[in-house]
Amino acid sequence: MVRISREQFIQRYLGDDLHIRQTERSEGGRDLAQAGLSTEQLRQADLNGDGRIEGQREIGALYQQVDRYDTNGRAQSIDLANRLGVPTRAGQMVGALDRMFAANNRPNQGIGILSSVGPRQLNRRDDVLAVQERLNELGFDLEADGVFGNNTQNALQVYEGMIRGEDDASSLPGILKPGARLDQVLGSDNAPRWAEMPDEGPGFNNVDWDGFSHGSQRLVDVIRDAGQSYNDDYLAANPDASVMELNDASLRNGGDNHDHATHETGLDLDVRLPRIDGASGTTVGSSDYDRDAAYAMVSAFASDSRVERILVGDDTLRQRVHSNEEPWASKVQDGGSSHRDHMHVDISPPRTVVG
Interatomic CA distance for residues 277 and 289, integer angstroms: 9
| Weakest-pLDDT range from 43-57, 105-119, 163-177, 227-241 | 105-119
Q: Residue 260 pLDDT > 90, yes or no?
A: no
Burial class of 5 by CB neighbour count within 10 A (0 to 12, 13 to 18, 19+): middle
Looking at the fold, whether 96 and 118 belong to one and the same domain comes out as: no
In this prediction, residue 71 carries a pLDDT of 86
In angstroms, the Cα distances linking 207 to 200, 222, 248, 294, 298 are 9, 17, 9, 17, 18
Neighbours of 199 (CB within 10 A): 12
Phi, psi (deg, nearest 5) at residue 157: -65, -40
> Would 37 be classed as within a structural domain?
yes
pLDDT of residue 328: 97
Last residue of a domain, one of 74, 105, 136: 105
> Does 332 share its domain with 198?
yes
- Domain that includes residue 286, residue range: 194-347
Q: Which residues contact 106 (CB under 8 A, 6 or more apart)?
A: 179, 180, 181, 183, 184
Residue 297 inside a domain? The answer is: yes
Instruction: Please say whether the beta carbons of 3 and 121 come within 8 A.
Output: no
Quick one: pLDDT at residue 24?
67
CB atoms within 10 A of CB 284: 21
Q: pLDDT by residue (tens digit) across 262-275?
A: 899 999 999 999 99
Question: Are residues 61 and 85 located together in one domain of the fold?
Answer: yes
Q: Is 354 a domain residue?
A: no
pLDDT at position 57 over 60: yes
Kindly state whether residues 185 and 199 are assigned to the same domain: no
DSSP code per residue over 108-153 = --TT--SS-BSTTS---HHHHHHHHHHHHHTT-----SS---HHHH
Same domain, 333 and 218: yes
In the chain, DSSP assigns E strands to: 2-5, 17-19, 52-54, 77-81, 194-196, 200-201, 204-206, 214-216, 244-246, 268-272, 307-312, 332-334, 342-347
Q: What is the mean pLDDT of residues 59-86?
A: 90
Overall number of domains in the chain: 3
pLDDT at 104: 67
- Residue ending a domain, choose from 78, 105, 132: 105
pLDDT at 302 over 60: yes
* Residue finishing a domain among 138, 157, 191: 191
The pLDDT tens digits for 10-55 are 998 887 888 887 676 566 677 778 888 888 899 999 998 888 898 8
User: Are 96 and 114 within one domain?
Assistant: no
For residues 246 and 201, membership in a common domain is answered with yes
